[in-house]
Amino acid sequence: MRIVGGTLRGLKLAEVGQGDAGAHLRPTSDRVRESIFNLLINGNHPNPIPGARVLDLFAGTGALGLEALSRGAARAAFVDDGTVARALLRSNIEKARAMGGTDVWRRDATRLGPNRGPGFGLIFLDPPYGKGLGEKALESALAGGWIAPGATVVWEEGTPPPVPVPLTQIDQRRYGDTLVTLLRAP
């Protein structure tokens, strides 16, 4: 796994191998990640990355949030309650020399609680597929004030996810077994 664009392009990230089923680690492939960022940058909507505050839920290795930082995001917060994931995440943050622009929070993404700071303009959501965790995490983020007005949500899932009110779907693409849905907050 490598960062595929921006200032950190080519940076090799910590190896996960084929993933860690026990820890539900299934990293987004470089090809899918590149496709996601092409969609964000070149889609029929304003590019949400420059200067963004990024929230990476079910962060795993942190590749999505680090890719956003590489492409001009201002700050990234990573949420994962897995021990294996947080160790890989910290290693990747060090490799990217991004310690000053990141936060790592050990918490359940489906029970975020209230946000004590400004909302996030770009949210990545890559839960274990088919378990309904994405829906619960988005409900928690909306209820806790984590999603800024006009924010973009990038949701990876195996099947079309239900779009929670008040979010609207702005795009959806399939890449192999990954379905990427882009949502917008009002």
What is the Cα–Cα distance from 105 to 102, expressed in whole angstroms?
Answer: 10
**C-beta separation of 152 from 183 below 8 A:** yes
Domains and CATH numbers, the chain: 30-184 (3.40.50.150)
The token duo for 96 is 């990217």
pLDDT at position 19, please? 46
**C-beta separation of 172 from 181 below 8 A:** yes
pLDDT at position 138, please? 97
pLDDT at position 141, please? 98
What DSSP string describes 32-62?
Answer: HHHHHHHHHHHSSS----TT-EEEEET-TT-
pLDDT below 50 — which residues of the chain? 18-20, 23
The token duo for 61 is 């290795």
pLDDT at position 14, please? 82
The bridge status of strand 53-57 relative to strand 75-79 is parallel
The bridge status of strand 75-79 relative to strand 178-184 is unpaired
pLDDT at position 31, please? 85
